[in-house]
Amino acid sequence: MGGSALKITPTRRYSKDEYDDISKEIQNILPFETHIPLSFGDKDSFGDLDILIRGSDYDKMYGSIPMKVYIEETFKPNEIYANSDVVSFDYKEFQIDFIKVKEHNWETSKIYFSYNDLGNFQGRIAYKMGFRYGNFGLRLVYLHPNGGRNFKMVVSKEPEEIFTFLGFDWKKYQKGFDSLENIFNFVVESKYFNARIFDYDQLNHQNRTRNKKRVNYGKFLEHVKSFDDGYGYEDKDTYVKKAEDFFGINIVEQIALWKKQIKRDNDASSRFNGNLIMKLFPELKGKTLGLAIMNFKAKIDDDFTDWIISTDQETIWNTFKEVNKL
């Protein structure tokens, strides 16, 4: 996954021939469907081996047995490190990363994890448009203007659609890349490319820390440092409308309903919340406060939020007192 997850056991880089041999060896050992992400043609050495594991296949064969346990029994590694669905371990002085992929993300993961940091670079462009691009496909993340929770919606899991929407040439991608420079140029050719959005100071802390460890990310910054800024991004609502038209799905109306729901929830919260309860009933704190709220909600047969909004404050608090015998 672009870095060493193993801290104790020494590993080394493999030549291309060694990498090809160990890839075949491990795939022959595994009894479930796997996929090795594509690399650019003239890559002559490798620091690790990523293998996508089709989660549905694994689960059918091994059920509840964690992948970490399967690896320990099958490969007898000196060191193993599990981080969510990624398990890293050593095998013949080489770091192997097993990435367990959910069934509905299988095809999109094959694309996203290929060609080193390409998916990462594409993700930066998607982010500036108000989307997230990952092994799950393309997801809209719409921030509410007044804060609070976000609106999230997967708009596509079709690679060709996603590439085209983000301004990338899908047919060119399918031909593959001979060099790392070809990958960099492919990113630059997106009509939404802007060189400055990749600068470290434009990233949040998590992405800045992660990308500073990625050698190829640094090389990409060197590649584009003399470029003009490029595309000027518009308001996020512009890309919401473009996505609705491009993918042929209803987004604007769903966002409007979501905003309405948030307003409804906020209205209810302003009329009934923990701070108000503690102000009116100082004896209720901690567990007793939580229990009192639970009792109250259980007593209201109607939709609780609707009831709070449509009921006068005196009735709300009198009912609350009656239910909890205050």
Q: How does DSSP assign 234-295, residue by residue?
A: --HHHHHHHHHHHHT---HHHHHHHHHHHHHHHHHHHHS-HHHHHHH-TT--HHHHHHHHHH
Phi and psi at residue 201, in whole multiples of 5°?
Answer: -75, -5
CA 54/CA 60 separation, integer angstroms: 10
CA 135/CA 138 separation, integer angstroms: 8
What are the residue ranges spanned by the domains of the chain?
Answer: 14-101, 114-249, 272-324
Contact yes or no for 274/289 (Cβ under 8 A):
yes
Q: Is 176 helix (H, G, I), strand (E, B) or coil?
A: coil
- In this structure, the number of other CB atoms found within 10 A of the CB of residue 187 comes to 22
Contact yes or no for 196/221 (Cβ under 8 A):
no
Distance from the first to the final alpha carbon of the chain: 58
**CA 21 to mean position of chain CA atoms:** 32
Segments in the chain forming alpha helices (H): 16-29, 55-62, 67-75, 106-112, 118-128, 159-165, 170-174, 180-188, 205-212, 215-224, 236-247, 252-271, 274-280, 286-299, 304-310, 313-324
CA 239/CA 191 separation, integer angstroms: 14
96: exposed, middle or buried (Cβ count in 10 Å: 0-12, 13-18, 19+)? buried
Print pLDDT tens along the chain (326 aa): 655 778 899 999 999 999 999 999 999 999 999 999 999 999 999 999 999 999 999 999 998 899 999 999 999 999 999 988 999 999 999 999 999 999 999 999 999 999 999 999 999 999 999 999 999 999 999 887 766 678 999 999 999 999 999 999 999 999 999 999 999 999 999 999 999 999 999 999 999 999 998 999 999 999 999 998 899 999 999 999 999 999 999 999 999 999 898 889 889 999 999 999 999 999 999 999 999 999 999 998 778 999 999 999 999 999 999 999 98
Q: List C-alpha distances in Å: 127 to 85, 193, 276.
A: 23, 12, 39
* Annotation: CATH topology of 14-101: Beta Polymerase; domain 2 (3.30.460)
Contact yes or no for 95/4 (Cβ under 8 A):
yes
Radius of gyration of the chain (CA): 26
